[in-house]
Structure 1
């Protein structure tokens, strides 16, 4: 039987890895975009940058949706889905995309501190990513004109 402190350390390190992965994807996509915008073929680089940003956005949401499922089944729930006793992957994907679209939970309740922390991190990262994407898009449009 593993030591409770060791189990807690593993759980904390897993959530830290998910956050660091999403942060890495975000910074990488912005770095790639800045590099591409600095070269000569603006339209091709615009398309590559746009696809890179969309890919980073999707990767972050899929990472967080997976983390919601992992925490739900390994940490003893944390989310309460209405009319659903045994949620499947679509419920967690729904939670992740509600956070990126609305920066809030819609009809899902949160009943644990660890899950609340994860949802707050997802909401903040999604908000800053969306604001950054809007700023970069306006900058790219300005460069094309």
Structure 2
């Protein structure tokens, strides 16, 4: 199953080339232009990875990352910030909120593709979810501990 990426940025000049780049590397790509749209798109699709700008209309990328990390069903979603915010405080904040990586603009396509491939080197979230549905629910029950 193809791994899915959601790109969240309000600038079409960023989204369009990123969509093309990710599609050329074999990923299914969706895009959102606001933080609220991103959360809704994530809720409907549960992607493998989110490429997330910090500066967004509505809720910020930092808030979107926090929302992702607070939802246990989304714990395996990878998050990479792609942003103009370059201060050490912003980078620390992004990573503290749970981002898997933080790239500042401008970045090289090769660097981004390598980071995405490294983060997504395992099975897709959708494959894991499908596999979990086919396993008996009794297999996850632990036997009682006897003294």
TM over 0.5: no
Higher helix proportion (structure 1 or 2): 1
User: Whose Rg is larger?
Assistant: 1
TM range (shorter): under 0.3
Higher strand proportion (structure 1 or 2): 2
For normalisation by structure 2, the TM-score amounts to: 0.26
For normalisation by structure 1, the TM-score amounts to: 0.26
